[in-house]
Amino acid sequence: MERKSIGALSEVLHMPEGVDVIKSGDESEALFIINRGAVEVIHIDSRSNMETVVTYLSRGDVFGEMGVLTNRVRKNTIRTCEPVSLQVFYKRDFPQIIQKVPSFFFYLSQQLAYRLIQVSDMAFIQSNCLELSGSLTNFDLVTIYQTILNSSQTGELAIYNEAKEPVAAFFFREGKPVWGQFLELTGEEAFWQLFLSEKQPGSFTFYIVENPDQIEPRGPLIERNPTDMLITALQNRDEFKQLLDEMPDPDALLRRLVINLNWPDNDYPELEPVAEAIWQLCYAAPQSLEVISASLPYATVKIYKTIAILMQCGHFALEPSASAVGVA
């Protein structure tokens, strides 16, 4: 019932890349939830008119709520980084939303509290402290990454799991990522894997490195523009969510249907080695999605994307796990 009311009291808006959804100084008439795509939050200096990207938002993120709830004009400009789909909630409909979907405003309260924690914790690194540590349940990695970029600091970002074991390390020189490692993944694939989940359990530490030339790189050096890297990572995260909707059971078995592998998609030549690795792993017997993801040295989004292509062309079929069949 609530979902139906939300649909009736909101609007879906599709916008291309490079469009200002919100402009600084505009009246606040609506808030937005990102269904698909990514946007950048831009602060415009009132004196120099210079634009600075504060952070990036992607699927599931909310923006515009501060202005709507406080009746203030827009502080920042929100611009699309790629084609986006937005769920728009207009201020004029709030009385009906409160009446029919009271849980929606509890959700907004959670988002505002979460953002307050982020702002409080991130103030430390922007004041040039030598170390920043915190729980990943309190704020997302996009905010951490963007803050390090804006700080122009040289240091290492370390990620730990819930058992306080190190799982990833990323080195920044003057705010720009130089190399990265996530478990066995290195380079840009490690970066993709880091951002694959919106919220991860565990903690992080960023500390300043005084002698960066003494740090040994872990894997290939990263050459790409840091902003482009982040946008690509958010696009991969969005795509991975869609793939999980299509293949939600990690214990489902991938069964080979044909004798020989013939990579069918010339648009993705970089995925052909992934397809060959999956093919060899499943050659003798079907393997679960979880085993495939854990066994191959590729980012999970690349593995799932390759499997989806191979299934579409009839190379593989996905069989539900025994537990899933039992539930059904």
Number of H helices, E strands in the chain: 11, 17
pLDDT grade for 142, boundaries at 50, 70 and 90? confident
Identify which has the larger pLDDT, 199 or 81. Answer: 81
Identify which has the larger pLDDT, 77 or 149. Answer: 77
Strand-strand pairing, 203-208 and 131-135: antiparallel
Which pLDDT belongs to residue 322? 63
Instruction: Say yes or no to pLDDT of 133 above 50.
Output: yes
Instruction: Say yes or no to pLDDT of 164 above 60.
Output: yes
Whether the CA torsion 5, 7, 11, 17 is positive or negative: it is positive
pLDDT in tens, 197-243: 877 789 999 888 888 888 889 899 999 999 899 989 988 998 999 99
- Phi/psi for 288 (5° steps) reads -80, 160
DSSP string, 152-180: T--EEEEEE-TTS-EEEEEEEETTEEEEE
Instruction: Say yes or no to pLDDT of 48 above 80.
Output: yes
pLDDT in tens, 263-305: 886 778 999 999 999 999 999 899 999 999 999 999 999 999 9
Determine the angle formed by the axes of helices 300-312 and 187-194, rounding to 10 degrees: 90
> What value, to the nearest 5°, has the Cα angle with vertex 312 and ends 309 and 313?
90
Domain ranges of the chain: 2-100, 124-238, 247-327
Can you say whether residue 100 is alpha, beta or left, with left for phi > 0 and alpha for psi between -120 and 50 degrees?
Answer: alpha
Please give the CATH number for the structural domain made up of 2-100. Answer: 2.60.120.10
Stretch 117-137: mean pLDDT: 62
Max Cα distance, the chain (Å): 67
Stretch 142-168: mean pLDDT: 89
pLDDT grade for 320, boundaries at 50, 70 and 90? confident
Stretch 150-172: mean pLDDT: 91
d(CA 301, CA 323): 24
Which pLDDT belongs to residue 328? 46
d(CA 30, CA 69): 9
Which pLDDT belongs to residue 327? 46
Which pLDDT belongs to residue 146? 83
Q: What is the pTM of this model?
A: 0.73
Which pLDDT belongs to residue 126? 52
